[in-house]
Amino acid sequence: MASTLFDKLWNEHLIERQDDHTDLIYIDRIFLHERTGSIALESLEADGRQVFCPEQVFCCMDHIVDTYPGRGDDTTMPSGRDFIVATRSAVAEAGITLFDLGDPRQGIVHVVSPEQGIVQPGVTLVCPDSHTCTQGAFGALAWGIGSSEAEHALVTKSLRVQRPRTMRVRFEGALSPAVSAKDMVLYLIAAFGASGGSGYAIEFAGPAVEALDMEARMTLCNMAVEFSAFTGIIAPDDTTFSYLRGRPYSPTGDALAQAENYWRSLRSDPDAQFGRELVIDCADIEPSVTWGTSPEHCVPISAAVPLSVGSDDPARERALRYMGLAPGQRLSGLAIEAAFIGSCTNARLSDLRAAAKVLRGRRVADGLRAICVPGSMQVRAAAEAEGLDRVFIDAGFEWRESGCSMCFYAGGEHFGYEQRVISTTNRNFESRQGPRTRTHLASPVTVAVSALRGCITDPRDFL
Amino acid sequence: MSIDAFHRCTGVAAAMLRPNIDTDAIIPSREMKRVSKVGLGEGLFAGERYLAAETREPSPDFVLNQPEYRDCCILLAGPNFGCGSSREHAVWALKEFGIRAIVAPSFGAIFANNCVRNGLLPVTLAQAQVEDVADWVLDAPANNHVTIDLDLQRLVAGAISVTFEVDAGARQMLLNGLDAIALTQTRWNQIADFDRKRRESHPWLYQQESSMP
């Protein structure tokens, strides 16, 4: 019978059926971070349990570490140091590989794992972080879990998982200039709703997806969780294989040939049946920006805040009140106080290059707070080798060390009360980036041009 | 470790019906102050529950601050409740506050799993049914108690009586207060066997370790 890529990945990791819906699935690799990893490991110790296979477990310091140059274990978040110290001690005790502060490989978990070649086609990989779906871009089955599930995976190298249904989202045609993977996924979520992918494992496919480089594919898969999907996956191809070659944890020599031979089998059969199929014509996708407090509150940047449709909608009213906007108000030209380039969504080298291209030789608007937080210290080093740090700094951006930073407010650094921020991150939830901070999600190039003008700006104005 | 079993729960229900209430709203990251699963109840819905985060002065508008909801143990929620961040702190905070079950048209997938792992019951009902229950509760919130029976898979609210579906595995875990890790450890032979075969069929995933920096 014809199988989808998801079916192949799932069945290959199926230890045994538990009941009609739930399977015991083998987990190849696990990532932890200091925010929840410390709690999971301490809980295991309290229960007298041990990590089964620590050599397949990795940990990043990313969630609450500071990103100021010269940072240490102290954090602007009160008590952040406790999480860092507890994590360091627990992973050392368990024998887990740590990408610690000061390590040139440190960074955001979903940037570090691909960079190191830890995620590979055909593996199952879990992390107590919802954006683990990012790593599905490699043809891996990668998904976010809670702390209890992390403990389960650490101890048993398996998880009890309800088998999701399958969906394929085909992006036909080609992207227009200044339109990126971020705009693709925002378009998808706006068109089908923030819960449109609920219960599904989604394969992203079609010529526009095949044309994306690995970093853009990661951006697309990253926001599968904002679509409420179990995860996103992209079939691995030569783009994937060439990205992985020479990475520290990638296979070499004969093992590489053996692995690549297997990796090439990881694609949906031509006549595989999906539970649901969506088709999007890329000609319809423009640079996008969110206006509200859910990623589904998103429109083309040339459009206005939607007028009410039919009956009154309290959630929409609440979002507009929170954002200080009115129906029919144009987004382009809306004044912003800050611009943020960072996060597991859009802080890889290609994202920084796209932003730097428009920032080069220009200055951000007077009084605007602009921050760039590279996705990893390797991204940072690679950007510096190209002189991108000078481009950002000369344009008026702060140039930071790596971490999740102000993608979310953990009690430390934040964008202020009712400050309007345009951000390359993934969530525009109420108070996500600071107390009552107003977040507009967009692509790196849209954030960069908006920073220059001091207002939400269509990147096509700069072509 | 022990998990609280769930059979039946009767009590005050509060409605928060707007869609997409995310786990950042259920517990803001700034409220997750300690390396601990406890001490989180006070941070539950902190963003809308308090007039100011620092003073903890209760916001009179917030449903759970109103006197008739003091003993609330059931939340009636909108679609996609618990979407967003995977933080299990959202569930730990709800439990510590006294919530035992949440009724919604749909849930964030990671959140729903986290509920089951902690003995909190997520009940999926059609939106119209959730709204009917909410309407009935609103007539007299302190007295119009809702009953959720997991043995019978039935929710009763006055004249409303509806059955609900629960995944069989989740139901067993909740009814028996099962610890998933202990349950899986009974499958140890199967896991070890699978692990051995996996090392043979995918050697490149295991060869690299010794040469790692």
Any idea what the CATH number is for the domain that residue A174 is in?
3.40.1060.10
Dump pLDDT digits (tens) for A23-78: 999 999 999 999 999 999 999 999 999 999 999 999 999 999 999 999 999 999 99
The whole-angstrom separation of Cα B212 and Cα A337 is: 45
Q: Is residue A106 part of a domain?
A: yes
Contact A410 B212 (CB under 8 A): no
- Looking at the predicted structure, is the pLDDT value of residue A335 above 60? yes
Q: Is residue A246 part of a domain?
A: no
Contact A430 B91 (CB under 8 A): no
Task: Check: CB of residue A158 under 8 Å from CB of residue A15.
Answer: yes
Say if residue A302 is in the same domain as residue A214.
no
From the CA of A230, how many Å to the nearest CA of chain B? 7
Measured between CB atoms, does B33 come within 8 Å of chain A?
Answer: yes
Contact B194 A435 (CB under 8 A): no
Is the full-model pTM beyond 0.80?
Answer: yes
Quickly list DSSP for A409-456.
Answer: --SSS---TT-EEEESSS---TTSSSTT-EEEE--HHHHHHHHHHTB-
- Looking at the predicted structure, is the pLDDT value of residue A354 above 50? yes
Q: Is residue A242 part of a domain?
A: no
Instruction: Pick B110's closest partner by Cβ from A56, A145, A248.
Output: A145
Residues 145-204 of A with CB under 8 A from B: 145-149, 151-152, 155-158, 160, 162, 194-195, 198-199
- Looking at the predicted structure, is the pLDDT value of residue A312 above 80? no
Dump pLDDT digits (tens) for A392-423: 999 999 999 999 999 999 999 999 999 999 99
Say if residue A316 is in the same domain as residue A456.
yes
Residues 7-36 of A with CB under 8 A from B: 15-16, 18-22, 24, 26, 28-29, 35-36
The whole-angstrom separation of Cα B202 and Cα A146 is: 27
The whole-angstrom separation of Cα A364 and Cα A395 is: 6
The whole-angstrom separation of Cα B135 and Cα B157 is: 10
A426 HSE (CA, 13 A, CB side)? 29
Instruction: Give the CA-trace dihedral at A423, A427, A433, A434, to 10 degrees.
Output: 140
Say if residue A424 is in the same domain as residue A304.
yes
What is the band of B213 on the pLDDT scale with cuts at 50, 70, 90? very low
Dump pLDDT digits (tens) for B164-178: 999 999 999 999 999
Residues 120-149 of A with CB under 8 A from B: 120, 122-123, 128-130, 144-149
B-chain residues near A296 (CB < 8 A) = 20
Contact B194 A26 (CB under 8 A): yes
Which helix (H) or strand (E) is A278 found in, with range? strand A276-281
- Looking at the predicted structure, is the pLDDT value of residue B72 above 60? yes
The whole-angstrom separation of Cα B109 and Cα B111 is: 5
What is the band of A310 on the pLDDT scale with cuts at 50, 70, 90? low
Q: What is the pLDDT of residue B211?
A: 46
Q: What is the pLDDT of residue A313?
A: 81
The whole-angstrom separation of Cα A247 and Cα A116 is: 5
A116, A143, A161 - which closes a domain: A161
Average pLDDT (A246-271) is 97
Say if residue A176 is in the same domain as residue A83.
no
Measured between CB atoms, does B54 come within 8 Å of chain A?
Answer: no
Say if residue A339 is in the same domain as residue A440.
yes
A-chain residues near B212 (CB < 8 A) = 97, 248-249
Residues 123-142 of B with CB under 8 A from A: none
Number of domains comprising chain A: 3
Say if residue A198 is in the same domain as residue A304.
no
Contact A228 B22 (CB under 8 A): no
From the CA of B145, how many Å to the nearest CA of chain A? 26
Give chain A's mean pLDDT. Answer: 97
Say if residue A457 is in the same domain as residue A311.
yes
What is the band of A20 on the pLDDT scale with cuts at 50, 70, 90? confident
Say if residue A226 is in the same domain as residue A149.
no
B-chain residues near A230 (CB < 8 A) = 109
Orientation of helix A147-156 relative to helix B109-117, angle to 10°: 70
Q: Is residue A271 part of a domain?
A: yes
Q: Is residue A258 part of a domain?
A: no
C-alpha gyration radius of chain A: 21
Task: Count the neighbouring beta carbons within 10 Å of the beta carbon of residue A49.
Answer: 19
Contact A152 B79 (CB under 8 A): no
A161, A179, A195 - which closes a domain: A161
- Looking at the predicted structure, is the pLDDT value of residue B76 above 80? yes
Dump pLDDT digits (tens) for B131-185: 999 999 999 999 999 999 999 999 999 999 999 999 999 999 999 999 999 999 9
Q: Is residue A252 part of a domain?
A: no
Q: Would you give the DSSP letter of residue A307?
A: P
Q: Is residue A255 part of a domain?
A: no
What range defines the domain where residue A444 resides?
290-462
- Looking at the predicted structure, is the pLDDT value of residue B209 above 50? no
Say if residue A336 is in the same domain as residue A439.
yes
Size of interface A-B (CB pairs under 8 A): 186
Say if residue A373 is in the same domain as residue A411.
yes
What is the band of A311 on the pLDDT scale with cuts at 50, 70, 90? low
Measured between CB atoms, does B37 come within 8 Å of chain A?
Answer: yes
Q: Is A40 helix (H, G, I), strand (E, B) or coil?
A: helix
Say if residue A305 is in the same domain as residue A268.
no
Q: What is the pLDDT of residue B212?
A: 46
- Looking at the predicted structure, is the pLDDT value of residue B112 above 70? yes
- Looking at the predicted structure, is the pLDDT value of residue B207 above 60? yes
Q: What is the pLDDT of residue B54?
A: 84
Dump pLDDT digits (tens) for A90-148: 999 999 999 999 999 999 999 999 999 999 999 999 999 999 999 999 999 999 999 99
Any idea what the CATH number is for the domain that residue A354 is in?
3.30.499.10
Dump pLDDT digits (tens) for A135-144: 999 999 999 9
Q: Is residue A249 part of a domain?
A: no
- Looking at the predicted structure, is the pLDDT value of residue A323 above 90? yes
**Integer angstrom CA distances of residue A45 from A40, A48, A154, A261:** 9, 5, 12, 41
Say if residue A87 is in the same domain as residue A190.
no
Average pLDDT (A432-461) is 98
Q: What is the pLDDT of residue A52?
A: 94
A143, A161, A179 - which closes a domain: A161
